[in-house]
């Protein structure tokens, strides 16, 4: 999802007359992004999970429970 959103935002900035503006090029790029995302997810090397756990743990320790 992160890669898909990054590409979508980059596409909004770039013009339609660029090198990768053809439908085939976009399909190939999407395929590459999917493969890259699968590889990164299987390696768990991005560090996003650890960052989220750290932030959630910190947020949980600062909130008060309602009784």
Q: What is the model's pLDDT at position 51?
A: 86
Q: Are 3 and 33 in contact (CB under 8 A)?
A: yes
Identify the helix (H) or strand (E) that includes residue 54. helix 48-62
Q: Are 3 and 37 in contact (CB under 8 A)?
A: yes
Residue range 2-59, pLDDT digits in tens: 777 877 777 766 666 666 667 777 788 888 888 888 887 788 666 777 888 999 998 8
- CA 33, CA 3: separation in Å to the nearest integer? 7
- CA 30, CA 25: separation in Å to the nearest integer? 9
């Amino acid at each position: 999802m992160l890669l898909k959103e990054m590409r979508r935002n980059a596409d909004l900035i770039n013009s339609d007359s660029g090198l990768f503006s053809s439908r085939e090029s976009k399909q190939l790029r999407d395929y590459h992004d999917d493969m890259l995302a699968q590889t990164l997810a299987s390696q768990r090397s991005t560090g996003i999970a650890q960052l989220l756990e750290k932030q959630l743990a910190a947020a949980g320790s600062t909130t008060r429970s309602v009784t």
